Structure 1
């Protein structure tokens, strides 16, 4: 039925490509079919705005609050804890006066690092969702080192990145960047050394980075599985630490690198 909709109702396709969400189950089915077609045709980037607009317009109470149990289970007390510890150890060396989280969500990870790293001057959280950023500004108002900005991270980094700034993502942020967007961000960061990048991002189970460095859509949302070790090296970063975590449902790449 979704296939019929994509063929007969070109207005729906135009809406999807403009970033507007499906309005019912029929259109959800149509969007899934359209994504598969674009992937097979090698033009999946035509739906990149879908991901962007979801995070701009999405219901922050549901989307971001639902991430709290995952933070507790996987990051603070689970298999991703080592990535947080590695980042914290790197930041304790005193090189960085600013820490920037790309896709900060509810600000929990940023606030944790601020509490653990009193010598760092600024902690900046970037997120597309203005409603969630407003919530963060109220919730974390007591700590003046915490700043939150509702913006496109690519634009922010282009205009505000500088030396002695560390950047990180957790839980699925770069997966919504196209390969060219991610490569552009990494190259921009290498222009402002000293810097570092840390990430914990989902990747496809069958993505062999050495054999295929091309980013590919994966998962229910058809976000991107990036060959992170290859892309950071290509941009001029030197890998400090890398590990993976996997369970029955997902595979995660954890990485820390500096130019």
Structure 2
């Protein structure tokens, strides 16, 4: 997209973390915002923080895993803004625990948000994005979509699914006015683990501490996403360590899996 000024952006998971930081960054670039989250009270606080930017901000309480709710969302956004030029499918949740200990219900839950939430957002908004001279989709993946780690089977599975879906969709959109960027951040300073599900409180806290010690500021991720949109980048990786992970996974999948397995033995969770 040549410019974000006076464009309308839909951001899911906008009440906290990367979504909140991205809403602020997009507003600074001149975007009007349709903010989506399951937490309506937190959305109101974000809107209050964005008030000084002077941008039009609409709030939409929705669970991205709810197909009917998501399919109804574009009409609400159009009623509030008249157009939609950008959707960022950012909403995500975490499950902490080894596969044998994780209930299948938790696997259903994480796939509903992390994978189906992305699919729902793309399916709902793509027809409206195609109406614009230029538009863009951003799908949030993860470094766990590059390599699988012990204790993150559910999370990794959803992110690998997002990666495959997004790469195929980008290929389908080539030559159209709609671009697509997939974002691969490493550990980010958010509460996704502490507010997620876990096989035990000890498991949740151990993983949260591990991530906090290596966390990238959400504002940095937001800035990289905006740059990726402006450049129509296919992929945005955030964090030097995760560029190395990506390189290793591409160079030698077998070696990368062996290294990952050894590292997993040292993980505190």
User: For the superposition of Structure 1 and Structure 2, which TM-score range results when normalised by the shorter chain?
Assistant: 0.3 to 0.5
TM-score w.r.t. the length of structure 2 is: 0.38
Higher relative contact order (CA 8 A, sep 6+): 2
Q: Point out the structure with the larger strand share.
A: 1
